[in-house]
Amino acid sequence: MSKQKRAYKYRFYPTDEQRRILAQTFGCCRFVYNWGLNTRKTAYAELGVKLNYNALSAMLPGLKKEYPWLGDVAAVPLQQSLRHLDRAYVNFFEGRSKYPTFKKKQGNQSATYVGTAFTWENGQLTLARMDEPLAITFHRDLPKGCKPSSVTVSKDCANRYFVSMLVQEDIKPLPVVNAQVGLDLGLKSMVILSTGEAVGNPKFYAKDEKRLAKAQRRHAKKKKKGSKNKEKARRKVARVHARIQDRRRDYQHKLSTCIISENQVICVESLAVKNIVKNHCLAKAVSDVGWGEFVRQLDYKSQWYGRTLITIDRWYPSSKTCHDCKHVVDDLPLDVREWVCTECGVWHDRDINAARNILAEGLSASACGGGVRPARAKARAGNPQRSRKAHS
């Protein structure tokens, strides 16, 4: 058992006064973040100077004197906004995200409280500058004896308020099981297991696409900027997006938890989803299925519960390799879902065969750091422009 950082997210319903304070805090945090981003960009473009968090934090008192209304909110969330900006730059330079952009008033809003900026007593959370605790809906309890180290309050585009509490928790590993599985990710079926089981793709976006298009058309017809009718139409569009996102995330969590609990070793391909969505024929379907978020959940849950997640090379020809004799066919179009090996005569289902090869390659790579290298080279030489995952 080891201590792990874990965030518990709940929805809460603020009073009118709390709503006003939060709106003011969100606006100030957004202003400080945008000011910091503009200052860093200007300093580097004009002077060639790279500013970090410490430099911007030292400039913050002068900014408060220039804009006195920044002192009407708690100081800690403003400092955390600069920390978030610094983290955004680190993620950009390490290749995990794009260059930081300015925050918008119409987008998701958030503010982070740490240290003495909040109090947690008897299961009630009170933020700085507030007299009453937040009315939080606890759908699950926080671990006993755990006090939040930081609290992030957020509001999404559908005007729903959430609070995320970060705690240090002792997560008990799951019992060891004698089971291994390879996962082939697709579009017709979201996950195909090496055991032969196929988990369907619910296609949450496709089911609500007509409803979303209708709401977007109504929003587009509201021409007067800043009107109440335009805001109501925008909120309806946001609610449809929130419904799609919530249902997809719930499905991914249930499926990833089930796979983690039933298998000791999980093997999966390391997909470059951001490259796959550049194909306009597949972009909508790939974004709807959510491969990247699903693999991310498998990653951190395997660390929590003592499982092993192995990612294999994305260029390994899992679909074109015969699982029995390891023969690699020269070409296997996407519309071919079943095929017979010309060497050993074994019939293969394309997806199940790929899942079994992923499991075998993952175990091989884990044991000796290698795999079927000649097959990998042959696949690259045969058709280097082939998209790895384009299941129909």
Residue type, 68: P
Catalytic residue from among 184, 262, 299, 331: 184
Burial class, 391, CB count within 10 angstroms (exposed 0-12 / middle 13-18 / buried 19+): buried
Q: What is the distance between the alpha carbons of residues 152 and 88, in angstroms, rounded to a whole number?
A: 17
Nearest to 389 by CA among 358, 343, 347: 358
Structural domain spans, the chain = 2-171, 180-382
What pLDDT does residue 348 have? Answer: 85
Q: Which residue has the tokens 């391909």?
A: 269
**Residue 270, CB half-sphere, CA atoms under 13 Å: how many?**
10
What pLDDT does residue 387 have? Answer: 40
Q: Which two tokens stand for residue 33?
A: 């973040």
16 labelled catalytic: no
CA 23, 117, 8, 101 torsion-angle sign:
positive
Catalytic residue from among 169, 269, 288, 361: 269
156 labelled catalytic: no
Catalytic residue from among 86, 288, 351, 361: 351
Over its length of 392 residues, how does the chain's per-residue pLDDT go in tens digits?
668 899 999 999 999 999 999 999 999 999 999 999 999 999 999 999 999 999 999 999 999 999 999 999 999 999 999 999 999 999 999 988 999 999 999 889 999 999 899 999 988 999 999 999 999 999 999 988 889 999 999 999 999 999 999 999 888 999 999 999 999 999 989 999 999 999 999 999 999 999 999 999 999 999 888 899 999 999 999 999 999 999 999 999 999 999 999 999 999 988 888 888 888 888 999 999 999 999 999 999 999 999 999 998 888 888 888 888 888 888 888 888 888 888 888 888 888 888 999 998 888 877 765 444 434 433 333 443 334 344 43
269 labelled catalytic: yes
179: how many CB neighbours lie within 10 A of its CB? 11
Q: What is the distance between the alpha carbons of residues 230 and 218, in angstroms, rounded to a whole number?
A: 9
What pLDDT does residue 1 have? Answer: 63
